[in-house]
């Protein structure tokens, strides 16, 4: 079944089926928020010291991104341009607070270990960026796809980094209390450097270089 593909100014195809796939791939690789666009870095370094934190933060960001994209997209025609940034910020801040309240009630250990970085989702450039660039100019359906794509890209990047840091830094991998595996020699003498702040900078720097190197090779 052939579909005529029309593109809007952001190069996104109009149409139901293909749009989801395309938006998702876009968020995962081509415009991966962490490694390529380097947006929203503050929480990335802080929460990748364990897989639990990474998953929790990823889920949180997807939730906020999804909700704010939907609401902003739904009321986009009514938002006065003069105060659009404050409006976006209040909407995003509301969902971040809801997330924080829900985590505090139902997932206390995660809430405690994420700490202020949970609240700092509100200034995550990714969410404000998507609101400004995408949600305020596209309809709700595309905004949902965009949120899921970018959110997943962000979460996968977090997981990649956290995998390195937790395995090298503690010698084992545990997800929400359930230990997956433990490397014999490494778990007795783990390289705690990777759990510490400098380790975060190092792992991300190297991974960024890797992503760009792959991009360079692909371009030739």
Partner 1 sequence: MLERLKSRRFYPIVFLTIIVLVSVSLLLYINTFTSGIVEARNRARIQEILESIFPDLTGFEEEEDLIIVYEGDSIAGYTILASGNGYSGAINMLIGINPDYTIKDIAILSQTETPGLGSRITEKEFTDQFAGLAPDDILLSKDGGSIDAITGATISSRAVADAVREEMSRVVEMLSE
Partner 2 sequence: MNDLFTIFVVMALVNNIVLAKFLGLCPFFGVSKKLSNAVSMGMAVTLVMLIASIATSVIYNYLLVPFNVEFMQIVLYILVIASLVQIVELIIKRTNINLYNSLGIYLPLITTNCAVLGVTLINSAGDYTILQSIASALGGGIGFTLVLIIMSGIREKLDVAETPPAMKGLPIAFITAALLALAFMGFNGLM
Q: Which residues bind partner 1 (CB under 8 A)?
A: 77-80, 82-83, 86-87, 90-91, 93-94, 97-98, 101-102, 104-106, 108, 112-113, 115, 192, 195
SS3 196: coil
Binding mask 112-131 for partner 2 (x = CB under 8 A): ---xx--xx-xx-x--x---
Phi-psi bin for 11: left (phi > 0), alpha (psi -120 to 50), beta? left
Please state the closest distance from residue 191 (CB atom) to partner 1, in A: 13
Please state the closest distance from residue 210 (CB atom) to partner 2, in A: 7
Decide if 19 contacts 142 (C-beta within 8 A): yes
- Residue 108 CB neighbour total at 10 angstroms: 10
Q: Transcribe 80-110 into DSSP letters.
A: -GGGHHHHHHHHHHHHHHHHHHHHHHH-HHH
Among partner 2, partner 1, none, partner that 150 touches (CB below 5 to 8 angstroms by kind): none
Q: Where are the beta strands (DSSP E) in 46-204?
A: 172-175, 178-182
Q: Which two tokens stand for residue 85?
A: 């940034």
Among partner 2, partner 1, none, partner that 80 touches (CB below 5 to 8 angstroms by kind): partner 1
Query: Which CB, 164 or 211, lies closer to partner 1?
Result: 164
Among 42, 75, 112, 175, binds partner 2 (CB under 8 A): 42
Among partner 1, partner 2, none, partner that 199 touches (CB below 5 to 8 angstroms by kind): partner 2
Query: Which CB, 62 or 125, lies closer to partner 2?
Result: 125
Count of residues in contact with partner 2, rule CB under 8 A: 40
C-alpha closest to that of 65 among 5, 2, 140, 151: 151
Distance CA 195, CA 49 (A): 5
Distance CA 215, CA 96 (A): 34
Query: Which CB, 7 or 77, lies closer to partner 1?
Result: 77
Q: Which parts of this chain interact with partner 2 (CB under 8 A)? A: 38, 41-43, 45-46, 85-86, 89-90, 93-94, 96-97, 100-101, 115-116, 119-120, 122-123, 125, 128, 196-202, 204-206, 208-210, 212-213, 216
């Amino acid at each position: 079944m052939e579909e005529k593909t029309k593109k809007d100014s952001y190069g996104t195809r109009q149409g139901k089926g293909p749009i989801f796939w395309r938006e998702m791939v876009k968020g995962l690789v081509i415009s991966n928020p962490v490694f390529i666009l380097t947006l929203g870095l503050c929480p990335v370094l802080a929460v990748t010291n364990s897989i639990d934190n990474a998953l929790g933060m990823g889920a949180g960001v997807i939730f906020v991104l999804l909700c704010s994209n939907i609401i902003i997209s739904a009321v986009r025609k009514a938002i006065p341009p003069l105060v659009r940034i404050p409006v976006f910020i209040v909407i995003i801040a509301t969902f971040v607070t809801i997330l924080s309240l829900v985590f505090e009630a139902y997932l206390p250990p995660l809430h405690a270990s994420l700490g202020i970085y949970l609240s700092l989702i509100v200034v995550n450039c990714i969410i404000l960026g998507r609101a400004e660039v995408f949600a305020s100019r596209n309809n709700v359906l595309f905004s949902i796809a965009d949120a899921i794509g970018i959110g997943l890209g962000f979460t996968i990047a977090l997981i990649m980094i956290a995998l390195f840091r937790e395995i090298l830094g503690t010698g084992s991998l545990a997800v929400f209390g359930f230990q997956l595996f433990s490397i014999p020699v490494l778990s007795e003498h783990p390289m705690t450097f990777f759990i510490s702040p400098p380790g975060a900078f190092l792992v991300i720097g190297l991974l960024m270089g890797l992503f760009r190197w792959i991009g360079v090779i692909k371009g030739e």
